[in-house]
Amino acid sequence: MALSRTRVSTALLALSLGLAATGPIAQDSLQDVMKNRGLTEKDVLSASKTYTPTGGRDEFLAFSSGGQSGQVIVYGIPSMRILKYIGVFTPEPWQGYGFDDESKEVLAQGRIHGKDITYGDTHHPAITETNGDYDGRYLFINDKANPRLAVIDLHDFETKQIVVNPFFKSAHGGAFVTPNSEYVMDPAQYAAPLSNGFVPLEEFNDRYRGGLTYWKFDNEKGRLDPSQSFTFELPPYSQDLSDAGKGPSYGWGFTNSFCSERYVGGNERGRPPFEAGCSSKDTDFLHVTNWKKAAELVAAGKVKKENGAYLIPMKQAVAEGILYLIPEPKSPHGVDVTPDGKFVTISGKLDSHTWVYSWAKIKAAIDNKKFEGKDPYGVPIIAINDVLHKSVNVGLGPLHTQYDSKPCVAYTSIYVDSMITKWDYCEGKVLHQLPVHYNVGHLMTMEGDSVSPDGKYLVSLNKLAIDRFNPVGPLHPQNHQLIDISGEKMELLYDMPIPLGEPHYAVAIASDKLKPGVRYKSGWNSRKDERSPWKTRAGREKTERSCDADGKCTVHVYGTTIRSHITPEIIEVEEGDTVSIHLTNLERAEDEVHGFAMYGHNVQLSIEPGKTASSTFVADRAGVYPYYCTEFCSALHLEMQGYLLVKPKGYKAKAVSLKEGTTYSQADYRKQVETNIATQGVIDGVVTFITSHNFKDFPTVVALVEDATDQLGFAEEAKAKSEAAAAKKDWSNAMLWANQWWQYQVKTADLGLRAKTHLEENGAKKVK
């Protein structure tokens, strides 16, 4: 048996000479595959429209709400591959979200009446806009169940802020941004008292209310500013979705509603259920609000605060001319301003027509004070016949409309008929209808609610899967169907199951508008976007213990992670200590994330390159608690481990020194050094290969070379330690440090081989 170290060097050498694998060779013809898999020509065409080869990029990224999973889902279009679940309202350990101290602070902002809320019901994501166009800076997402709104930074895809609505008890219809992200619209859903106390249902008409919050967004800070936000008090109709005006309708907002009957169910007492009483009229009410003028009133000190936040009473809104109602088709879900801001379309699920409202006509009615009456709360009602541009028979149970890049072209999701209707909102005619499977809720076109939709694709967010996929038990996935809208007729391309959560609404942005980072500045608190006070650097790691006057002690560990060790590897504390472990990931290389898990204490961190993440817990039980890296980061990832030792109170150590499990001789040391010298020769060979090619034209390779250079630097440090120990004839430590030196060489070789493969596969050229 030859020894392993030598073998490795031989294998490395073979690879560096290019003896490795050749590329794959096609073994079947397309005809064979089609026959075997039962594919039609149309299927192969669809496949070729979505298939994205290894390393390919998607043209669009979709951000979908995760519904009651409390997350946001990110996927690529047209590949329909899910790229990330972002933790927002629900703790998620892979991301360390709700586990590290830093993200716990974000979740704590979302407490309701002092209580931690451990999930959300996310509904409508919205991307920040500049001049009405998506700018890809931030994403907003609401929680319907516990009315809250969160801010996700699209630089790192992390949740940075959660705000709690000061008035509402549910809020379905947010988030929708104004054209320069001045405000985020967030209306209430089920009517409730705006105060927190109990109010009997008998006082529903008088003391239950709806509302619409305009959250102020600080575009500089990238955070919502509750102190500058304001809420319209609205009648107890269940407000629903919203949209902000643009172009000619800039400065105004539109919010629809259902159950304007103000019905209160109680089927347990023999009353007809809510579903009957909330769907008995023929129309509901569209709410038209003037946020620009409202903001001026706030700025002028003319709006009072309740519950610590600005509230514009209905009476004031009516008096100031900033609140109107217009009838809308029954049980609508979606109010969608056209890209030019001239029209607003609304579909009601219990009307087969989509109604197209003319903003010019609405504005004229407002300016001329031409109303057909007032609602029971004194809000002026504009007559539908005064403002209707068209009413188009789109199908049974129409829901939500998005726009095409082509002028006047819209798409509406049709719930009961399970289809998408393509239609012309200028001429008021249906252009094409395509069945979907089954029962679509919202739909999404590319940047389809901005001033300049991108066309090309449409996604149908279907609520059922039933027979579309392999069965996985009584709880099915949802089904997002990708549809090609580039031609005259829509074409169904792909069915994508949603494996976790029930998306409600989604938005898609051209992916070249996003410029996510791959690392943080070293020692970064990513949630606060500032240097962490708990950061540390290589060689400066330390553990500090301090006790207060009552004898309560706190241990702060300032540690680091790097391929393949955590520093410190042993942490000793006393039973009852509060322990705060702060780890800075020293890596700079893309994707070199380290995790940190510990037995029995709910400790689980995800530490991306540069990040400092912290975990605080009470070591309430004497014992031995292993910890380790949870992200497979390197060949010796499993060896990236350590122990928390919790000593009993008052424990006195015996004067026993550690007995080595294995000791090493001078011969062991020499053998390791020989291996290392051979390995260095191999590395030099790979380096020669790389530098003899135009590697600087390949950013991926440049990054790998940087990383490899770092690793070789670490190898040099270990080599020096090894030689120092050898000089003292401490052969065990000489051997161990020589091995550490070799470990860094292996990491270097790993990077070099990846770089070499990349160059070979991407047509790098030899240079002089």
Interface with a copy of itself in residues 85-144 (CB under 8 A): 85, 90-95, 99, 112-113, 115-119, 121, 144
One-letter identity of residue 420: I
Task: State in angstroms the smallest separation of the CB of 326 from a copy of itself.
Answer: 13
Contact (CB, 8 A) for 644 and 627? yes
Alpha-carbon distances of 521 from 221, 384, 571, 584, 710, rounded to whole Å: 18, 56, 27, 11, 17
Q: H or E segment at 719?
A: helix 699-727
One-letter identity of residue 41: E
Residues across the chain: 768
- Which candidate, 506, 453, 165, places its Cα nearest to that of 337? 453
Contact (CB, 8 A) for 584 and 560? yes
614 counts as binding a copy of itself under rule CB under 8 A: no
Angle, alpha carbons 430-418-384 (nearest 5°): 50
Nearer to a copy of itself, 61 or 297 (CB): 61
d(CA 14, CA 6): 13
Find the binding residues for a copy of itself in span 717-746 (CB under 8 A). 718, 721, 733, 735-737, 739-740, 743, 746
How many CA atoms does the CB half-sphere of 371 hold within 13 Å?
A: 16
d(CA 692, CA 81): 37
Total residues at the site for a copy of itself (CB under 8 A)?
272
Q: Which stretch binds a copy of itself (CB under 8 A): 101-109, 130-138, 490-498, 548-556?
A: 490-498
Among 253, 334, 348, 453, binds a copy of itself (CB under 8 A): 348
The token pair at 702 is 């440049």
Task: State in angstroms the smallest separation of the CB of 253 from a copy of itself.
Answer: 20
Task: State in angstroms the smallest separation of the CB of 198 from a copy of itself.
Answer: 4
Find the binding residues for a copy of itself in span 634-653 (CB under 8 A). 635-636, 638-643, 645-648, 651, 653
One-letter identity of residue 548: D
12 counts as binding a copy of itself under rule CB under 8 A: yes
314 counts as binding a copy of itself under rule CB under 8 A: no
Find the binding residues for a copy of itself in span 570-599 (CB under 8 A). 570, 590-591, 593, 595, 597-599
500 counts as binding a copy of itself under rule CB under 8 A: yes
Find the binding residues for a copy of itself in span 660-719 (CB under 8 A). 660-662, 664, 668, 672, 700, 718
Contact (CB, 8 A) for 163 and 216? no
Find the binding residues for a copy of itself in span 368-387 (CB under 8 A). 384-385
Burial class (CB in 10 A: 0-12, 13-18, 19+), 19: exposed
Nearer to a copy of itself, 665 or 709 (CB): 665
Task: State in angstroms the smallest separation of the CB of 457 from a copy of itself.
Answer: 13
One-letter identity of residue 215: W
Nearer to a copy of itself, 93 or 313 (CB): 93
Task: State in angstroms the smallest separation of the CB of 178 from a copy of itself.
Answer: 25
Nearer to a copy of itself, 14 or 299 (CB): 14
The token pair at 420 is 């998408």
How many CB atoms lie under 10 A from the CB of residue 600?
12
Annotate 103-149 with DSSP letters as a single string. HHHHHHTT-BTTB------B---EEEEETTEEEEEEEEEEETTTTEE
239 counts as binding a copy of itself under rule CB under 8 A: no
Burial class (CB in 10 A: 0-12, 13-18, 19+), 596: buried
Among 426, 514, 553, 678, binds a copy of itself (CB under 8 A): 514
Q: Which stretch binds a copy of itself (CB under 8 A): 41-49, 244-252, 290-298, 306-314?
A: 41-49
- Which candidate, 236, 234, 144, 231, places its Cα nearest to that of 184? 231
Q: H or E segment at 723?
A: helix 699-727
Task: State in angstroms the smallest separation of the CB of 278 from a copy of itself.
Answer: 4
Nearer to a copy of itself, 316 or 345 (CB): 345
Q: Which stretch binds a copy of itself (CB under 8 A): 126-134, 177-185, 357-365, 511-519?
A: 511-519
Q: Which stretch binds a copy of itself (CB under 8 A): 52-60, 210-218, 248-256, 360-368?
A: 52-60
Find the binding residues for a copy of itself in span 259-278 (CB under 8 A). 259, 261-269, 271-278
509 counts as binding a copy of itself under rule CB under 8 A: no
306 counts as binding a copy of itself under rule CB under 8 A: no
d(CA 110, CA 761): 48
Conformation bin of residue 377: beta by default, left when phi > 0, alpha when psi is -120 to 50: alpha
- Which candidate, 178, 88, 93, places its Cα nearest to that of 127? 178
Angle, alpha carbons 345-334-133 (nearest 5°): 75
Q: Where are the beta strands (DSSP E) in 463-562?
A: 478-484, 491-498, 506-510, 524-525, 530-531, 542-547, 553-562
Q: Which stretch binds a copy of itself (CB under 8 A): 308-316, 477-485, 546-554, 687-695?
A: 477-485
Nearer to a copy of itself, 183 or 625 (CB): 625
Task: State in angstroms the smallest separation of the CB of 246 from a copy of itself.
Answer: 27
Task: State in angstroms the smallest separation of the CB of 522 from a copy of itself.
Answer: 13
The token pair at 306 is 């309740």
Q: Which stretch binds a copy of itself (CB under 8 A): 72-80, 226-234, 296-304, 307-315?
A: 72-80
Among 102, 243, 404, 417, binds a copy of itself (CB under 8 A): 417
- 554 CB-near residues (< 8 Å, 6+ apart): 545, 546, 547, 577, 578, 579, 580
Task: State in angstroms the smallest separation of the CB of 584 from a copy of itself.
Answer: 14
Among 138, 215, 425, 625, binds a copy of itself (CB under 8 A): 625
The token pair at 747 is 């990491």
511 counts as binding a copy of itself under rule CB under 8 A: yes
Find the binding residues for a copy of itself in span 194-233 (CB under 8 A). 196-205, 208
Find the binding residues for a copy of itself in span 531-560 (CB under 8 A). 541, 543
Angle, alpha carbons 102-108-113 (nearest 5°): 170
Among 107, 392, 749, 764, binds a copy of itself (CB under 8 A): 749
Find the binding residues for a copy of itself in span 451-470 (CB under 8 A). 463-470
Contact (CB, 8 A) for 88 and 103? no
Nearer to a copy of itself, 90 or 249 (CB): 90
516 counts as binding a copy of itself under rule CB under 8 A: yes
Contact (CB, 8 A) for 576 and 618? yes
Nearer to a copy of itself, 273 or 321 (CB): 273
d(CA 753, CA 700): 13
333 counts as binding a copy of itself under rule CB under 8 A: yes
Nearer to a copy of itself, 371 or 469 (CB): 469
Nearer to a copy of itself, 327 or 339 (CB): 327
42 counts as binding a copy of itself under rule CB under 8 A: yes
Find the binding residues for a copy of itself in span 418-437 (CB under 8 A). 418-419, 432-435, 437
Integer distance in angstroms from the first to the last C-alpha of the chain?
Answer: 43
Contact (CB, 8 A) for 185 and 253? yes
Task: State in angstroms the smallest separation of the CB of 595 from a copy of itself.
Answer: 6
